[in-house]
Amino acid sequence: MTQTTPQRSAAMKQGSNRAPHRSLLYALGLTEAELERPFVAVVNSFNEVVPGHVHLRDITEAVKAGIRMAGAVPLEFPAIAVCDGLAMNHVGMKYSLVSRDHIADSCEIMLRAHVFDGVVFIPSCDKTVPGMLMAAARLNLPSIFVSGGPMLPGHVEGSGSMGLMGVFEGVGAHAAGRITQEELTLIEQAVCPTCGSCAGMYTANTMNCLTEAMGLGLPGNGSIPAVMAGRRRLAKAAGARIVELIDANITARDIMTPAAIENALAVDMALGGSTNSVLHLLAIAREAGYTLTLERIGEIAERTPQLCRLDPAGSHFITDLDRVGGIRALLAELAKAELIDVTATTVDGSVAARIAGSPGADGTVIRPLADPWSPNGGLAILRGNLAPNGSVVKQGAVLPQMLRHEGPARVFESEEEACEAIFGGRIRPGDVVVIRFEGPRGGPGMREMLSPTSALAGMGLDDSVALVTDGRFSGASRGASIGHASPEAAAGGLIAYVHEGDRIAIDIPGRSIELLVSEAELARREPAPQPDRRLGGVLARYQREVGPADQGAALADYDSVCEEEKR
């Protein structure tokens, strides 16, 4: 390659006073010729715990091959990753959202301490993607993403294709006596047949698709399956492309503009993605210097039709989306109604150039604008006295009869208490399950709660029972599951004042959620006492520093870091 812009890494390797630094670089086995080339960080989130990450050594080697082919030097370092499925429904889930900010911080540490010219981020599962996107925005280096790709769906005889959600719902079905232990075992052994991020439009695949829509991943980043050769070719192409971005000095924030983030939100609404995307995009936009609000997200949701119903909302999977053109086709369909900004920059040109030649919707996996699943997006922002600062529901995965619901509150101080009641048969049709003190501060860590939602679905109660929480729901959740209720109970939100049997009215089309208790009665009540979590270590620090869900559960203000970059 011909380098036309000054190398950032020169600060670490050029000049007589950098002789000690060069000596250490020679200890890595680098040659004099390599010291003249750009240094590219390769952030590999491989581990042997997470199925979505177990193959990332292979992806990383392909990225590094692409970097070398383009004439630069790849230098790899690791990032942690939590498997939300394995962490679900026990204390481990308290650490999942915490890991997002730890990943961003650890990337900052490595990329600041060692002066790189650019960076390739290799995430796959739930919190690695937003954590690395936050780091990209914060550090503002030439950056590109290539995910590990989605898992293939499993096949269960008599039930067809199935993703991980099917196992969680199978647990509820087994508890209700609807399937046998032998049938549950067949399901659990069939639904995760390959490596990769879980097969549905859950949080990991949502965020990888939004990374592509935002322009930081090449076409196919969100949808090419993990086991396909195309995923390795994509990784090589990303490795080569980062060198071109370095040469052109195109940095992360040149791409992560308000227009790009809003393009991602439009795609999110058309896909009916995970409710967690709202939490993460709020935090990502903040790092990029864009003040995104729930009000703005609601506006984009109202104007953007839902064109896809992928698992858990429907029978199609991310592999089906890839087969019909992936995110590129969805962007092309949205562009027909000017629902995206086609002038936005991506890592390989404008959005307009990227979607040129794509016919858009196939009519089945991606419905046309003239025949959407819904005229509004797959996610909705609800407000009311129970969530004056907002709450989030995946409306595209709610049964029609549950779009409006009123019932008595069944109040629980933790996910465990709620699950015990559900599996114990104590939840009845018409109830509204309220799970509080699971918010960012109250949890702490704002646990995802797939077990209660899937248990209700598996027990056949998703057509008559709603859930409300200041915590989160998994991207695999479906039903009238309203999360992120803000302010949370630990911050004095009204959810802390709900009593057993209080009536709660949910109106998803009307975008409201109300506790039907008089002001006079509420004035007489005291908030429920916060459970004693007996915290220490990272959870205690997180509880002290974390902000509210309606602001992305963000931690500290990183403007000072941005100023350091300018200097």
- Spatial CA neighbour of 209 closest among 373, 51, 378: 378
Q: Which residues are paired to 160 by β-bridges?
A: 156
Residues 6+ apart with CB under 8 A from 298: 380, 381, 511
DSSP H or E run through 205? helix 203-214
Q: Which residues are paired to 513 by β-bridges?
A: 506
User: CA 9: distance to chain centroid?
Assistant: 32
The residue type found at 170 is: G
CB 378 within 8 A of CB 468: no
- How far is 214 from 152, CA to CA, in rounded Å? 24
As given in the structure block, the two tokens for residue 2 are 């011909």
Q: CA angle at residue 270 from 132 to 445, to 5 degrees?
A: 40
- How far is 367 from 309, CA to CA, in rounded Å? 9
User: 95-131 as b/e, with b when 16 or more CB fall inside 10 Å?
Assistant: bbbbbbbbbbbbbbebbeeebbbbbbbbbbbbbbbbb
As given in the structure block, the two tokens for residue 330 are 């969805």
- Spatial CA neighbour of 147 closest among 269, 48, 52: 52
Q: Which residues are paired to 77 by β-bridges?
A: 43
CB 548 within 8 A of CB 488: yes
Tokens 């790709």 belong to: 149
DSSP sequence for 34-78: HHTSPEEEEEE---SS-TTTTTHHHHHHHHHHHHHHTT-EEEEEE
SS (H, E, C) 350-392: EHHHHHCCCCCCCCCCCCCCCCCCECCCCCEEEECCCCCCEEE
Q: Is residue 474 annotated as part of the catalytic site, yes or no? A: yes
Selected catalytic residue, list 474, 477, 481, 486: 474
Within 10 angstroms of residue 343's Cβ, the number of other Cβ atoms is 10
Residues 6+ apart with CB under 8 A from 66: 235, 236, 237, 238, 239, 240, 241
The gap between the terminal CA atoms of the chain, to the nearest Å, is 28
Q: Tell me the backbone φ, ψ of residue 330, rounded to 5 degrees.
A: -65, -40
Question: In whole angstroms, how far apart are CA 234 and each of 60, 137, 259, 486?
Answer: 11, 22, 25, 40
Tokens 């099917």 belong to: 166
List active site positions.
Answer: 474
